[in-house]
Every structure is written in structure tokens, then in C-alpha cells.
């Protein structure tokens, strides 16, 4: 049972933790802690129907603690470039990745101005929606809508291409 929970949720929780921490290793540490806590409370928790909700909440809380304790966000935005080069497995992937970056750059430049600025602040600068809203004097809802719009435009312009890329590099399926 515990093994199955680990198996079902490990990758999902890691991905969720990563979105908050922007650091793969820190996300691994957090998820390890989530499961250690789960193990300690297994008698009570394994009975619960809503174990999934518990695991996501636990991950969220531990990520917030992690951010508070180490100020990960600033640290990693600052030093990211040095130690977080993405792992590229082989030449095929490298060629595909280079081609994809070029296409993404092209679409990014064609985005409407506000949409582009907001996407860059969120994705490249790692800023929270609230920070972006304050800087641009707009509402958080607007930031959210603009990011959704950016993703939609990217999907329209790169849709099939992204799907195929994802399949070739084995992300989907």
C-alpha cells in the first residue's frame, strides 16, 4: 500500500514541488520528507479516502517552509545558471532542443506586448503573480489570464510540433 502510494504520487508531487521551488534537488528532498511524514502517520492516514489531498497539501506546506527557511527563490534565481544546466541525453535531443528553442523564441517575440512582458517576468525571471501584478499595476487575475493567453498562442503556433517533440523525446505515453 505504502509502496503503491509512493509509486502513484512520487513523480506528480515532485513536479508540483518543482513548480514552487524551481529546483529539482530541493523538490526531491521535499518529496522525501512528505513520504517520511506519511510513513510516520501511516496507521491513521492510510485509512483516509482523501490521501491524495493530504499528500498535495503536505507537499505545499513543506515547500513553503523550505522557501521561508532558505530563501530558495532568490538564491536559485541568482545562482541558477551555474549548476542547473539541463541534462541533455544525446545528440538527437540536442538537435531537437536547439530547433525548439529557436521556434519558441520566434513565437515569444510575436506575442502581444503585455502578454510577452508578463510571460517573461513569470517564466524567465521567476516572479510570483502578485509581484508582477504590483509592478505593472494590474490585477493578479489579469496576470493569470495573460499567461493562459500566452500558452494558448504557443499551442496554436507550435501545437503539433510540441506534441511530436514530446513524443520523440519520450515525455508523453
Partner 1 sequence: MNQHPEIQVDLSLIGRYLAGEASPEEAFAVDAWRELSAESNVTFETAARLWDEAHPVTAWRPPDSAAEWQQLQGHLEITPLPIRRTLFTPMRIAATVLVLLGAALLAWLLVPHKTATTPAYSKVISSGKAVLNDTLPDASVVTLAKNSRLSVSHSFAASSREVLLQGEGYFSVKTQTGQPFTVLAGGVRIVVLGTAFNVKEDSASVTVAVSSGAVKMYKDTASIIVNAGKTGIYTIADQKLRLLDTVNRNSYSYATRSLYFYNMSLGEVKQELEKAYNVHVVLENPLLAQCRLNTQFEEQPLQYVLEVIAASLGIQYRIEQNTVYFFGNECS
List the interface residues with partner 1, window 47-86 (CB under 8 A): 50, 52-53, 56-57, 59-60, 76, 80-81, 84-86
- Minimum CB separation of residue 44 from partner 1 in Å reads 16
Work out whether 123 is an interface residue with partner 1 (CB under 8 A): yes
Q: Do residues 171 and 161 make contact, with C-beta atoms less than 8 angstroms apart?
A: no
- Minimum CB separation of residue 18 from partner 1 in Å reads 5
Provide the 8-state DSSP code for 111: S
Work out whether 31 is an interface residue with partner 1 (CB under 8 A): yes
Q: Do residues 140 and 129 make contact, with C-beta atoms less than 8 angstroms apart?
A: yes
Take residue 34 and report the three cell numbers written for it. 512528505
- Minimum CB separation of residue 6 from partner 1 in Å reads 6
Work out whether 144 is an interface residue with partner 1 (CB under 8 A): yes
Give the C-alpha separation, 14 to 17, whole Å: 5
Work out whether 28 is an interface residue with partner 1 (CB under 8 A): yes
Of 69, 63, 68, 77, nearest to 13 (Cα)?
A: 63
Work out whether 164 is an interface residue with partner 1 (CB under 8 A): yes
Amino acid at each position: 500500500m505504502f509502496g503503491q502510494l509512493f509509486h502513484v504520487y512520487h513523480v506528480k508531487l515532485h513536479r508540483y514541488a518543482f513548480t514552487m521551488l524551481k529546483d529539482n534537488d530541493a523538490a526531491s528532498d521535499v518529496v522525501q520528507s512528505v513520504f517520511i511524514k506519511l510513513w510516520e502517520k501511516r496507521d491513521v492516514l492510510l485509512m483516509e479516502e482523501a490521501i491524495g489531498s493530504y499528500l498535495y497539501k503536505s507537499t505545499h506546506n513543506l515547500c513553503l517552509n523550505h522557501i521561508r527557511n532558505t530563501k530558495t527563490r532568490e538564491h536559485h534565481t541568482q545562482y541558477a545558471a551555474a549548476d542547473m544546466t539541463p541534462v541533455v541525453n544525446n545528440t538527437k535531443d540536442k538537435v531537437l532542443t536547439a530547433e525548439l528553442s529557436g521556434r519558441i523564441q520566434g513565437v515569444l517575440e510575436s506575442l502581444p506586448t503585455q502578454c510577452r512582458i508578463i510571460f517573461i517576468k513569470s517564466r524567465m525571471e521567476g516572479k510570483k503573480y502578485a509581484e508582477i501584478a504590483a509592478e505593472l499595476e494590474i490585477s493578479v487575475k489579469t496576470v493569470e489570464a495573460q499567461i493562459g493567453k500566452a500558452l494558448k498562442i504557443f499551442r496554436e503556433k507550435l501545437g503539433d510540433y510540441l506534441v511530436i517533440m514530446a513524443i520523440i523525446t519520450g515525455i508523453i505515453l
